Structure 1
Amino acid sequence: MGVTIERVEWMHDDAERLRRAQRAELDARYGSDDHEPGIIPTADDVAVFLIARDDDGEAVVCGGLRPLDAGVLGPDVAEIKRMYAAPASRGTGAAVAVLHALEDEARRLGIRRLVLETGTAQPDAVRFYEREGYEPIPLYGHYVGSDLSLCFARELFDS
């Protein structure tokens, strides 16, 4: 499967459709109660949102970057938000392409470190991020104390 990466607005129809599919999958894994311990991302705080389109032009993967305040994690840190791959696109390389494109966008923004939160009921996501060089870190921010959260980080520049 070839993919084309496209930068879109947060409220783009395809972006919203993929985020709704992600929410449905998370509801199936965790129950429909609120399972988001962090601050819900919005168009106001997500600086970059990308989608991957397959050979037919269908949006199949999405992901965004939300710059974080220096706070506990230090300066020049952004959080990966709403990374999602439609089931049919998993294992095709489309999610890797979006993740690498997000990393490139972060570098252009001067971001030195990317962090993310995923859930304990998402071993596929854990394997994906670890395979792509993300290492486990202590829970941060609003995820501290969450029994459902696992956090990861990757340095984008050599020290």
Structure 2
Amino acid sequence: MQIEFERPNQPAVHELIAELDAHLYSLYPAESVYALDIASLCYPNVLFAVARDPAGYPVGCAAIVVTQEYGEVKRMYVRPQARGQGVARRLMEMLEAKAILKGCRVFMLETGPTLPEALNLYERMGYQRCGPFGDYPDDPFSVFMQKEVRQGTSTAR
């Protein structure tokens, strides 16, 4: 599995994001899906990583939006055929490490309550539940989590 920082405006990545969107919209009402579009993922303060299988086929992606206050994890998705292989963890570790190099010390995320694999991953990686942050409303279809890292702390485990 190869994971690299890439631009999200590629046809194969669009397909990956469309799969993620279809999955989220099958679980939650549209007003409770707080997804960034492809154009927003291209902003300079967004780190976007893609995991590809040995044939170069994209099997996962994730982003972190780096702000002055925190880095927000967005668009985390691993295709079903690639799950259980540590792809999501590797995506998160790579993104967090790069964000730390940019000075980020707090990570935040919003995810759904019916995504137990995602919730378990985030908890194993040190994220703890918190209240809504930024512009998010208090939504019953949202779980908010945060993680703080100290200077010199590695995200690798």
TM over 0.5: yes
Q: What code does the residue aligned with 1:21 have?
A: E
In structure 1, distance between residues paired with 2:150 and 2:10:
31
Match of 1:23 in 2: 21
Change over 3 Å in CA distance of 1:48–1:29 after alignment to 2 = same
Q: What code does the residue aligned with 2:117 have?
A: D
In structure 2, distance between residues paired with 1:45 and 1:122:
29
Match of 2:111 in 1: 118
TM-score calculated relative to the size of structure 2: 0.85
Query: 1:7, CA displacement in angstroms?
Result: 1.0
Q: What code does the residue aligned with 2:32 have?
A: H
Q: Which shifted more, 5-14 or 38-47? A: 38-47
TM-score calculated relative to the size of structure 1: 0.84
Q: Which shifted more, 111-120 or 148-157? A: 148-157
Local SS of the residue matching 1:115: strand
Local SS of the residue matching 2:145: strand
Alignment root-mean-square deviation, CA: 1.9
Q: Aligned ranges for residues 28-39 of structure 1 at < 5 Å?
A: 28-31=26-29, 33-36=30-33, 38=34
Identity of aligned residues (%): 29
Q: 1:59-79: per-residue Cα shift (whole Å, max 9, x none)?
A: 1110011123x5xxxx3x110
Corresponding position: 1:14 with 2:12 = yes
In structure 1, distance between residues paired with 2:26 and 2:17:
14
Match of 1:50 in 2: 49
Match of 1:98 in 2: 91
Q: Aligned ranges for residues 130-145 of structure 1 at < 5 Å?
A: 130-145=123-138
In structure 1, distance between residues paired with 2:130 and 2:10:
32
> Are the counterparts in 2 of residues 45 and 66 from structure 1 also a CA contact under 8 Å?
no
The partner residue of 2:72 within 74, 79, 83 is 79
In structure 2, distance between residues paired with 1:66 and 1:78:
5
> Are the counterparts in 1 of residues 113 and 143 from structure 2 also a CA contact under 8 Å?
yes
Unaligned runs of 5+ in 2: none
Count of residues in correspondence between the two structures: 149
> Are the counterparts in 2 of residues 66 and 78 from structure 1 also a CA contact under 8 Å?
yes
The partner residue of 1:40 within 36, 44, 52 is 36
